Amino acid sequence: MSPDRDRAAPGDEVSLPVAEQADAEASLHVAEQSDALEDPDPDEVPAADGADEADLETVAAQRDDYLEALRRVQADLENYKKRVIKQQTEHLERAAEDLVATLLPTLDACDSAILHGATEVEPIFASLLGTLEKEGLARMHPEGEEFDPTFHEAVLHEGGDGGETIVAEVIRSGYTWKGRVLRPAMVKVKG
């Protein structure tokens, strides 16, 4: 502040620098506008009419449409996520099934070696078969059961009494993987 302004008597006109004068006018203008906003003139307030209500109804209807569309999109996204997880799980199971299917000839070789008296193969065979069984492999033992082409592959037929066809002998073991037939058992049937 200037020393002249500090000594001015009340009622005396004081000249302000141009920048301070512009700030003072701007403050006065802002104060006038805020007063006008706080105390609206009743003559200047527009009356609500039917057009405003119709616009409000239109906006509310659009909001409801958008909300419904959003819920549909969210439901579709959740279904998509579930479907992708299911597909990934099936893909991993198929990959494991393919790996096990490539190990079946090894199991057959171990089984054949044991049948021919190679007892040193038994621990390896038991360990490999045990590990695979923990993961979902099941060995089929259909001897004496009724023949089922879903689980058995008949390669030899022995005459019987004409009754039901049963599995007389297992030529090659069959396996299931998590309840599905991985390889049918090769069998000799009777009946």
The secondary structure of the chain as a DSSP string is --HHHHHPPTT---PPPHHHHHHHHHHHHHHHHHHHHHS--TTTSPPP-HHHHHHHHHHHHHHHHHHHHHHHHHHHHHHHHHHHHHHHHHHHHHHHHHHHHHHHHHHHHHHHHHHTT-GGGHHHHHHHHHHHHHHTEEEE--TTSBP-TTTEEEEEEE--SSS--EEEEEEE-EEEETTEEEEPEEEEEE-
| CATH 2.30.22.10 residue window(s) in the chain | 138-191
Predicted pLDDT of residue 158:
84
Percent of the chain with pLDDT strictly greater than 90: 43
| CATH 3.90.20 residue window(s) in the chain | 56-135
Low-confidence stretches of the chain (pLDDT beneath 50) = 1-6, 8, 14, 16, 36-37, 42, 45, 47
138-191 CATH, one of 1.10.3720.10, 1.10.630.10, 2.30.22.10, 3.30.470.10: 2.30.22.10
Predicted pLDDT of residue 50:
62
Q: Does CATH number 3.40.50 belong to domain 56-135?
A: no
Predicted pLDDT of residue 46:
52
Question: What is the model's pTM?
Answer: 0.55
